[in-house]
Structure 1
Amino acid sequence: MIHPRLRQFVALATGALLAACLSFAAPASASTHTAATQTQTPLVVNARWGGHPTFDRIVIDLQGYVPTVTVTPVSQLIYDGSGKPVPLAGKHFLEIRLNPAAAHNDAGQSVYKGPKLQKIYLSKLKGMALTGDYEGYVTFGAAFDTLPYYRAYTLHSPERFVVDIAH
């Protein structure tokens, strides 16, 4: 009869050896590719909007994954970097900030195909602007005549960030 302590030791040693062999069996390129894919900065490629019977919608299209996004009411819209005011009429504004994100590729060329400054004639949404693509942040501003009541969320396949503004 094998002593219980010896049986436990053999079982633990066998498990450790099996785990070590499995980790060596995985190709190095597979783990490197996964890490590179997860750390690649998502690209902001478009922004669009639409009017619906009970809400207006803003959609920001991305390549890659949806990064952290904050939607913040602000007293005015300013361009990142310069600090100059964004020329959009309105009494209320939302700042939509994505991080990490870029609207340009590694060569510095813009991948963003949407409008940079646009007056809009929807029930609530009156204007939108790309206000920054700076140091890992992409920022948009949205203008409203009345206080916006909104809901923000992500959608997948394709990746996009959505803000619905109630009428």
Structure 2
Amino acid sequence: MILNCRPVATALAGLLLAGSAAVGTTASASAAPTTVPPATAQVVNARFGVHPGYDRIVLDIKGPLPRVSVIRVDQVRYDPSGKPVPLRGSFFLRIRLAPAAAHDSAGHNVYRGPRLVALNLPHLRGFALAGDFEGVVGFGVGVRDHGAVHVFTLQNPNRVVMDVR
């Protein structure tokens, strides 16, 4: 049995066109502009704190939470140049957030945190923004010793947290 679907398809297309015209009219008639969160995570700040037994890094995020990876490296390098980051510390960690950016869609910086800072905390010795390139934001961390690292995310507001023992 062969069914002729053309009348149904034509009717559906007409409804879709009518619906999209109505949506367009409603959206343009709206008096109050709305703020749309970014589709890619924007890293806007970094802060540090001392707690009993560990130091904490908090990365403030606007928009969705990105994937986060932390690895131990011999040396942190800037993206994309590959030049070494002059971090204080005996050991180094590389934090990568993706998809993420430290700039907006017009190319303006949204990251307001430190670019390169020496720290004198019990475990943290240095911190640097190491890259904002092709959807990846990278940071370098200089630490005093090979302690444990615990990374997690929190919401409302969105942030990435890294505890270093």
Q: Which bin holds the TM-score, normalised by the shorter protein?
A: 0.7 to 0.9
The equivalent of 1:117 in structure 2 is 116
CA contact (8 A) 2:37 2:62 kept: no
Letter in 2 for 1:133: D
The equivalent of 2:106 in structure 1 is 107
Residues 52-80 of structure 1 deviation map (CA, whole Å, 9 limit, x = unaligned)? 11110000000001111101111111101
**Shift in alpha-carbon separation, 1:39–1:111, aligned structure 2, 3 A:** closer
The equivalent of 1:141 in structure 2 is 140
The equivalent of 2:128 in structure 1 is 129
CA distance in 2, matches of 1:145, 1:161: 21
How many residues end up aligned between the 2 structures? 135
Runs of 4+ in 1 over 6 A off after TM superposition: none
CA distance in 2, matches of 1:140, 1:66: 16
Percent identical across equivalent pairs?
A: 48
CA contact (8 A) 1:89 1:126 kept: yes
| Gap runs ≥5 in structure 1 | 1-19, 30-36
CA contact (8 A) 1:92 1:148 kept: no
TM-score (norm 2): 0.77
CA distance in 2, matches of 1:63, 1:57: 20
The equivalent of 1:44 in structure 2 is 43
CA contact (8 A) 1:152 1:161 kept: yes
The equivalent of 2:74 in structure 1 is 75
TM-score (norm 1): 0.76
Structure 1 segment 15-94 matched on structure 2, within 5 A = 40-94=39-93
Q: Which of the pair is proportionally richer in helix?
A: 1
| Gap runs ≥5 in structure 2 | 1-11, 24-35
CA contact (8 A) 2:38 2:62 kept: no
Letter in 2 for 1:55: Y
Partner secondary structure for residue 138 of structure 2: strand
CA distance in 1, matches of 2:103, 2:88: 28
